[in-house]
Amino acid sequence: MQRKGAPIGILVVTTFIIILDVAFFVYLAYLFMFVDEYHTMFLSYSILSIVMWITVFLTMLSLIVVPYGFWKRSHWARIFSLVFLSWLIFITIVYMAMTGEKIIGFLFFVLFVLSMMYLLMSPVKRFFGKISMAIVPSELIKEYTYGFYTLYSKLVRLKNGKNQIIYFFSKRKPKSGTPTTLPEGFEVEVSSRSGLPYLKKRQEHSSIL
């Protein structure tokens, strides 16, 4: 797995959630130290107390799930983040309705929505390795993807006059080339210098050839 190839958007969302979590716990500690009424509210069985306990629980989980899951490109981490952000949107709406504060609440609301929209994008789903469980006939599989990159093939003419098929990865649709499946006998490697994926013959095939 190539971690250097993580898009900047993933890093931004991860950093945003971590900073948000830390700020929430700092604010919570302030309330416990300086607001006496908060102890009673937090330990009661009111709806507000239940909402706060759920928020604390999800926030604690997000401090572990988001950094680790995003680092591992785990699909469940993306799903958890969507659930967590949905809950934060709900909390923000409740906060604006109860306090009348619109500026800060609306700012966070927009940030949460934008983060969710980003995590729902198709390239992000591919980055996290979302795989459909549906049975798809092999003849319908037309392309191989690695993170944000798609594998293409192209027929080129060599200097000696012979034709040869070359394979390359690209984030965007190239001027020439056709999306293709991973050819048999090859595996994906990632350049340590550029961070770009490329095809390499498997060891057993190389030894035979």
> Where does the pLDDT of residue 2 fall: very low under 50, low under 70, confident under 90, or very high at 90 and above?
very low
d(CA 11, CA 85): 16
Q: What is the pLDDT of residue 14?
A: 93
How many C-beta atoms surround the C-beta of residue 16 within 10 A?
16
Using the predicted structure, report yes or no on whether residue 138 has a pLDDT greater than 80.
no
Q: What is the mean pLDDT of the chain?
A: 84
Burial of 28 (C-beta count, 10 Å sphere; 0-12/13-18/19+):
middle
Q: What is the pLDDT of residue 156?
A: 87
Using the predicted structure, report yes or no on whether residue 58 has a pLDDT greater than 80.
yes
Percent share of the chain, pLDDT over 90 = 36
Mean pLDDT to the nearest integer, 19-36: 87
178 vs 139: which has the higher pLDDT: 178
- What are 75-132's pLDDT values in tens digits? 899 999 999 999 999 999 988 988 888 888 899 999 999 999 999 998 888 888 754 4
Q: What is the pLDDT of residue 157?
A: 83
Q: Structure pTM?
A: 0.58
Using the predicted structure, report yes or no on whether residue 140 has a pLDDT greater than 70.
no
Q: What is the pLDDT of residue 182?
A: 87
> Where does the pLDDT of residue 5 fall: very low under 50, low under 70, confident under 90, or very high at 90 and above?
low
Mean pLDDT to the nearest integer, 13-42: 85
> Where does the pLDDT of residue 3 fall: very low under 50, low under 70, confident under 90, or very high at 90 and above?
very low
Using the predicted structure, report yes or no on whether residue 12 has a pLDDT greater than 60.
yes
